[in-house]
Chains A and B, each alone.
Chain A
Amino acid sequence: MKLTSIDMLAQRREALVQRAAALAHEVRVCAGTACVAAGAGKLSDAIQREAAAKGLVLAVDGDAPDAEATVRLVNTGCQGLCQAGPLVRVLPQDAFYCGVRPKQAARLVSEALQNNAVIADWCAVSPQGQRYATRAEVPFYRHQQAIALEGCGAVAPESLDDYIAHGGFAALVRALEMPPEDIVQTVEDAGLRGRGGGGFSTGRKWRIAASASASERYVICNGDEGDPGAFMDCAIMEGDPFRIIEGMAIAARAIGAQQGFIYVRHEYPKAVARLDKTIVACRKAGLLGAGILGAGFDFDVEIARGGGAFVCGESTALMRSIEGQVGEPRANYIRSVQEGLYGQPTVLNNVETFACVPAIIERGAAWFAATGTPGSSGTKAFCLVGKVAHTGLIEVPMGTTLRQVIFDIGGGVLDGRPFKAVQTGGPSGGCLGEAQLDLPVDFDALTAAGSMMGSGGMIVMDDRTCMVDVAHYYLSFLQSESCGRCVPCREGVAQLCHLLDTMRRGTAKPGDLDRAIRLAQDIAQASLCSLGKSAPNPFLSAVTHFRAEFEAHINDRTCSAGVCRDLTVFAIDAQACTGCGLCAPACPADAIAGAPKQVHAIDAQKCTGCGACRTVCRDDAVRALPRNLPCN
């Protein structure tokens, strides 16, 4: 149904809100990637089957409910605690269940839905064994604040009705009733900075584009999320796609653009499909296209799909890619806000940045600026991954410390192992150590310490992580993702990666560390684009905080973490070994021998240093030892 006026939208919202109020009982099954992989799709089907069998009439997702429906089932986007899926949330009591399997659907329907009981066994549990009766109490969620992720995990992603019922497009209406300059001012006053990692003032970017003289202007949403370990934008694109469209429409209104593009990385086909449905639904409803809501505002959005290149997340390369050219960046001496896509003023913002915009317009700049730190207002979404107890998707106020994120929200290091480092900002970012754990997470504090907040990937590392190996990993990633145009990045990153490789293998020469640092600094200065300019960051930050580890690899040929195979052999601590026998079959080199319930032993000659035995050992009985190569 086409909404031809603002009043019509208001009426529709009113009707939908009333409809939703009549069905306050809601079961939200998380259909984010991790939960689907753990069986959430089958769980949802099973719930619907069981409900039908038990005579419980469900309304599903955004569908209009039957008269007899008493419960709504919503297959939501990512609900955040990916470690513990499939996740199910039951409202209004806010019960929160982890690890719900399809075969438990019958119990869910009869106890939780028909009898309104809370199933204690399924609730999240503290390390002391205490069950959390509501989601609000769960520490993982208690310390979070959702703005960009507000709808993700709540709305039915493909339902325009559900989005409207949750208040969707009210911000756009407000923007249509404001002078465009006021929209820009609001975003500027809110202090919104680019959530893709660059941190440029969003309001200022819009202002420059709005005032540039040109015949066309463009709005582009950067959905090329390429940092390893980052899936915030994936979750928003799959879980709350209408919010992105609304944010883009508000930006278009602010700068005078009529055409927008969402550039989605090739590896997110579900996001592409969902956004496509979203755009079609918006067009049908008169929320995209000519004469939106009868307010004399034309704006349409097209999806551009990437080809599998990390470098196309760089804004100038992204624009070339949309234009149909090879995705190579150009030097940013001329800013894209003045001459961007097709040479016209272009506002390019990250998915998460657009996701913040509707809330800012609706609730005001002061509200947004009241959260966070003076230089970094609002919240930030993170993907907390790696050696952390609770991996998943979170959103916290800027200024939350690393320690709070990793320990209060994340539950500390996995298996209680010692914390070693946290990597943020992806391949452009850096590693920080224990001494930096009390730094606030925002645009500036981490940068001052030699790292950067980045787009939101946060990788926790324990004592079994080798920082030389980590630096090598990032350089090897960048080597294959470099566009190859300029010498410092194409040749330099490859040579730097090679130097790190020699350190891992114990073939590095004295002076190689200083040579590598010098090369890294030169790559940062001389590269053409920000991929090359930031490529040395993981290495340089690792050297800053873990220099001794690099020196040990080069001079002593030892890897204290026991990761670098050429430098490591493993041995079994006879005191700790219980003879469980798990290690022997895990060894690919047949190097472990021992009778059942007897202490096992590793033949150092055969040991390849792979560490499989250490990974499977439940008694922490495997030790990493130097391979005793001759010292430098």
Chain B
Amino acid sequence: MQLVIDGIPCTAQSGETILQVARRNHIDIPTLCHHDALEGVGACRLCVVAVRAHAEAVDAQVVASCMYAVKDGLQVDTATPEVRRLRQTVLDLLAARCPDAPEIQALRERMGGDAVDYAPATDGSKCIMCYRCVRACEAIGCNAIAAVNRGPQKEVAPPFFDATQRCIGCGTCAAICPTGHIAVTETPQYREIWSQRFAMAQCAGCGAPFMTEATREHLAGLGKLKPDYFTHCAACRQRDAAARFVRVGT
């Protein structure tokens, strides 16, 4: 099907979102909660664009481009003054929510619009409720954390804010968080995350910690392997493989 984005004609397949088509055509739309591998939530509203059903239509609708499936004849405007103002407001609000998150402050400055300062939060939280951690945890099959409570009290937490067996301490959530909000403490013996202390498995070759014991169990279960498949860190695995290749060769 054919649609027009910022005056540029684009082709698209049924089921694609405006964001997908725009990016393919090198039209930049900023995003925060969007992730290519995770199901869209439409939470941040940074990717909003104005759409009209066809070229003669007058009424424009503001939609989230990461969620809106393209239609034949759609007219999309990604950078009108109205749309830019909405993005500025989203970033102004997030900057007030997370005054201590430099990534958000930087994004806001780059937006470069007529910014408004709202009353800042004082809890030091850097969470922007983008749901990336929740969705990633779901993707790896653990579902250990979710968004709990409603409204401004909404936050990401494990069930009852307590240690949960579902968490394997893999740290994916912390790694995918855009602001580094999720606290992880590591020592050679353990990793602490989401109110739980996880024992680190030590590499049988060099003794370095390379994953939590719980992650080992989880991956073994996923890959239908035995936990003792995961015994060595990547570097030692590579070294042992090198030795095997040479031995086989002689």
A and B touch in the complex (CB under 8 A): yes
Instruction: Point out residues on A near B: beta carbons under 8 Å.
Output: 309, 311, 326, 330-331, 333-334, 479-488, 490-492, 494-495, 498, 515, 518-519, 522, 525-528
Residues of B near A527 (CB, < 8 A) are 45
> Would you give the shortest CB distance from A106 to chain B, in whole angstroms?
52
Which of B46, B63, B151 makes the CB contact (< 8 A) with A333?
Answer: B63
Residues of B near A492 (CB, < 8 A) are 89, 93
Which of B67, B90, B146 makes the CB contact (< 8 A) with A526?
Answer: B90
Q: Quick one: given A498-B119, A522-B86, are A482 and B63 in contact (CB under 8 Å)? A: no
Residues of A near B129 (CB, < 8 A) are 484-485, 487, 490
Q: Quick one: given A515-B116, A525-B82, are A483 and B151 in contact (CB under 8 Å)? A: yes
Residues of B near A495 (CB, < 8 A) are 93, 96, 118-119
Contact B63 A331 (CB under 8 A): yes
Main secondary structure of the interface of A (DSSP, over half): helix
Residues of B near A482 (CB, < 8 A) are 150-152
Contact B153 A484 (CB under 8 A): yes
Residues of A near B62 (CB, < 8 A) are 525-526
Residues of B near A498 (CB, < 8 A) are 118-119
Residue of B nearest to A480 (CB): B151
Q: Quick one: given A495-B118, A526-B62, A528-B64, are A490 and B45 in contact (CB under 8 Å)? A: no
A486-B43, A519-B89 known; 14 new pairs, CB 8 Å cut-off, are: A331-B64, A333-B63, A333-B68, A480-B150, A482-B150, A482-B151, A482-B152, A484-B153, A485-B131, A487-B128, A494-B151, A495-B119, A519-B116, A526-B45
Contact A483 B150 (CB under 8 A): yes
Residues of A near B48 (CB, < 8 A) are 525-526
Which of B69, B82, B90, B150 makes the CB contact (< 8 A) with A487?
Answer: B90
Q: Mark B72-92, 1 if CB is under 8 A from A, else 0.
A: 000000000010011001100
CA distance A522 to B96 in the complex (A): 16
A-B contacts, 8 of them at CB < 8 A, read A333-B67, A481-B151, A482-B151, A484-B149, A488-B90, A490-B154, A526-B62, A528-B45
Residues of A near B119 (CB, < 8 A) are 495, 498
Contact A479 B44 (CB under 8 A): no
> Would you give the shortest CB distance from A413 to chain B, in whole angstroms?
34
Residue of A nearest to B148 (CB): A326
Which of B42, B85, B150, B153 makes the CB contact (< 8 A) with A522?
Answer: B85
Residue of B nearest to A485 (CB): B43
Contact A488 B150 (CB under 8 A): no
Residue of B nearest to A483 (CB): B150
Q: Does B199 contact A (CB under 8 A)?
A: no
Number of B interface residues at 8 Å Cβ cutoff, please give it. 36
Contact B67 A331 (CB under 8 A): yes
Residue of A nearest to B44 (CB): A487
Residues of A near B128 (CB, < 8 A) are 487
> Would you give the shortest CB distance from A451 to chain B, in whole angstroms?
21
Residue of A nearest to B116 (CB): A515
CA distance A519 to B116 in the complex (A): 9
Q: Mark B93-118, 1 if CB is under 8 A from A, else 0.
A: 11011000000000000000000101
Contact A491 B96 (CB under 8 A): yes
> Would you give the shortest CB distance from A250 to chain B, in whole angstroms?
33
CA distance A328 to B68 in the complex (A): 18
Q: Does B147 contact A (CB under 8 A)?
A: yes
CA distance A331 to B18 in the complex (A): 15
Q: Mark B20-53, 1 if CB is under 8 A from A, else 0.
A: 0000000000000000000001111110100000
Contact A481 B150 (CB under 8 A): yes
Residue of A nearest to B155 (CB): A484
Q: Quick one: given A484-B150, A526-B86, A528-B64, are A491 and B45 in contact (CB under 8 Å)? A: no
Residues of A near B116 (CB, < 8 A) are 515, 518-519
Residues of B near A484 (CB, < 8 A) are 129, 147, 149-154
Contact A486 B151 (CB under 8 A): no
> Would you give the shortest CB distance from A306 to chain B, in whole angstroms?
13
Residues of A near B152 (CB, < 8 A) are 479, 482, 484, 490-491, 494
Residues of B near A485 (CB, < 8 A) are 41-43, 129, 131, 147, 154
In chain B between 155 and 211, which residues have their CB closer than 8 angstroms to a CB of chain A?
A: none
CA distance A483 to B43 in the complex (A): 11
Which of B42, B89, B94, B131 makes the CB contact (< 8 A) with A528?
Answer: B42
